[in-house]
């Protein structure tokens, strides 16, 4: 029989583990002798940026992004090649473009064009947001039980199981390729994608399929929403199309589609940030802010974004001005680029927790929009007036927009890839070209 002191020790230990347990994350910075991983946790919490930089250093140079060929393939698949006006499926045919482009970097080119993977990852994102709303209707103490019976949470679990199987197949195939190359005395193919990076993480307790789904959740919804808002604004302001095309054609013909060209697309950058300006939680524990303000557990909190429409910050804030941030940048405003955040423009957050994926999203959006602008024409269906979708105090992108597109004819433009000078890449729609972009983390 346990003594009273032993029983007390067990209860105290369980309480400590429940209350003070560290947040679980894959250990990518293991140290010899660090049995309880305290040093690893401390380094992650205080200097995660250095871990990313150190991890990328072994790849010696820029990261090859196979985004452009998959944008081409995705647009041909979802928007088609017809030079006659036709309406696209607003959500499916915009999210699909971002999903194909992101998958080429996340899971690799082999899976980027896999219809089954595309359907699975996009379905998981939709089901997850529905599952969150579903669980919020239940008391926190019951959620771990009811999750097994609710329709959307059950769907998420089924999709996650399927994703793990599909990713395991990719990893096993790559391992077989590597072993075969070693036996034949050849250098094994090096995959430069997130799946490859995460598969080499030491002590990774997360399944690689789960990581891929988490990346899809982080990338698909927000980036596709940004694309939809920008397309809507382009359709409503056709006078901006010609100067945007001139900028893109000039820069790509001079530099090719590279980081330098993307960085110099000031007009396109301004357009994206202006569209972002148009459409800009709950505390889970007691939190004390630096000024000693206490936010009690369960409090609903919001971040003030009203400066985006403040006439003291922006001239004519209710008017859409695609040149707004170009003018601010030329006037010396260092926070006028799309990827930069400030107190007056906090869409990406700020401080230590600012969105780390904003640089990739910036490159991805610019490549998508550059291709669309040079090879397609967009317009809203005649008589349709786009309106933001309101949900409580939030305004989102019009979820029912009726957008029509057509392919520009040969007499109207030079094909987008006539400007590129890069290595060819095979896709289901033919051979296209990839580029190298140096990703910056700051």
Does a structural domain hold residue 38?
yes
Structural domain boundaries enclosing 362? 59-437
Phi, psi at 75, each rounded to 5°: -65, -40
Instruction: Determine the Cα–Cα distance for residues 245 and 257; give it in Å rounded to an integer.
Output: 14
Pairing between β-strand 430-433 and β-strand 424-427 as defined by DSSP bridges: antiparallel
Domain boundary among 27, 42, 58: 58
Quick check: is 442 in a domain?
Answer: no
Assess if residue 69 is contained within a domain. Answer: yes
Tell me whether residue 191 is in a domain.
yes
Name the region of 237 (left: φ>0; alpha: ψ -120 to 50; beta: rest). Answer: beta
CATH number for 404: 1.10.630.10
Placement of tokens 């359907």 in the chain: 119
Q: Which residues of the chain have pLDDT under 70?
A: 1-2, 5, 7, 9-31, 35-37, 44-45, 48-49, 51-69, 202-204, 280-287, 298, 390-395, 410-442
* Distance of alpha carbon 168 from alpha carbon 162, whole angstroms: 10
- pLDDT value of residue 395: 67
Same domain, 48 and 76: no
Do 340 and 334 contact (CB within 8 A), yes or no? Answer: yes
| Residues 364 and 258 occupy one common structural domain | yes
Answer yes or no: are the C-beta atoms of 80 and 86 closer than 8 Å. Answer: yes
> Tens of pLDDT along 362-421?
988 999 999 999 999 999 999 888 877 766 656 678 888 899 999 998 656 655 444 443
pLDDT for position 360: 85
| Per-residue pLDDT at 414 | 54
Select from 58, 78, 94 the last residue of a domain. Answer: 58
- Flag whether 355 is marked binding: yes
Are both 15 and 80 inside the same structural domain? no
20 and 101 both lie in a single domain: no
Query: For position 308, what pLDDT does the model report?
Result: 83
Task: Give me the pLDDT at residue 94, please.
Answer: 93
3-state secondary structure of 191: coil
Q: By C-alpha distance, which of 67, 59, 102 is closest to 197?
A: 59
Query: How many structural domains comprise the chain?
Result: 2
């Amino acid at each position: 029989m346990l003594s009273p002191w032993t029983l007390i020790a067990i209860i105290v230990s369980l309480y400590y583990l429940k209350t003070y347990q560290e947040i679980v994350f894959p250990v990518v910075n293991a140290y010899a002798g660090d049995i309880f991983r305290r040093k690893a946790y401390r380094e992650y919490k205080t200097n995660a940026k250095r871990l990313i930089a150190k991890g990328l250093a072994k790849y010696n140079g820029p990261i090859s992004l196979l985004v452009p060929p998959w944008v081409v393939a995705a647009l041909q698949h979802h928007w088609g090649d017809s030079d006659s006006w036709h309406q696209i499926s607003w959500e499916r045919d915009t999210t699909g473009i971002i999903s194909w482009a992101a998958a080429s970097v996340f899971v690799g080119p082999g899976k980027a064009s896999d219809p089954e993977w595309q359907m699975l990852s996009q379905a998981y994102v939709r089901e997850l947001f529905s599952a969150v709303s579903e669980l919020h209707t239940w008391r926190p103490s019951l959620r771990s039980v009811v999750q097994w019976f609710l329709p959307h949470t059950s769907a998420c679990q089924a999709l996650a199981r399927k994703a793990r199987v599909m990713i395991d197949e990719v990893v096993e195939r790559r391992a077989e390729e590597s072993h075969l190359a070693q036996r034949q005395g050849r250098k094994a193919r090096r995959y430069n994608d997130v799946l490859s990076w995460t598969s080499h993480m030491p002590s990774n307790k997360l399944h690689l399929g789960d990581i891929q789904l988490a990346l899809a959740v982080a990338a698909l919804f927000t980036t596709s929403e940004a694309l939809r808002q920008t397309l809507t604004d382009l359709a409503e302001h056709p006078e901006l199309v010609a100067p945007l095309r001139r900028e893109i054609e000039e820069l790509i013909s001079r530099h090719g589609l590279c980081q330098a060209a993307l960085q110099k697309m000031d007009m396109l950058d301004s357009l994206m940030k202006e569209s972002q300006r148009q459409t800009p939680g709950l505390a889970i524990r007691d939190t004390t802010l630096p000024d000693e303000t206490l936010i009690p557990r369960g409090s609903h909190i919001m971040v003030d974004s009203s400066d985006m429409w403040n006439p003291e910050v922006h001239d004519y804030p209710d008017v859409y001005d695609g040149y707004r941030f170009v003018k601010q940048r030329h006037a010396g405003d260092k926070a006028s680029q799309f990827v930069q955040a400030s107190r007056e423009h906090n869409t990406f957050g700020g401080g230590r927790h600012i969105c780390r994926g904003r640089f990739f999203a910036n490159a991805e959006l610019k490549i998508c929009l550059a291709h669309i602008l040079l090879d397609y024409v967009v317009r809203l269906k005649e008589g349709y007036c786009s309106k933001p979708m309101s949900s409580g105090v939030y305004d989102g992108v019009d979820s029912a927009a009726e957008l029509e597109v057509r392919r520009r004819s040969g007499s109207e433009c030079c094909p987008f890839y006539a400007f590129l000078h890069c290595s060819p890449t095979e896709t289901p729609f033919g051979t296209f070209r990839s580029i190298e972009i140096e990703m910056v983390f700051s």
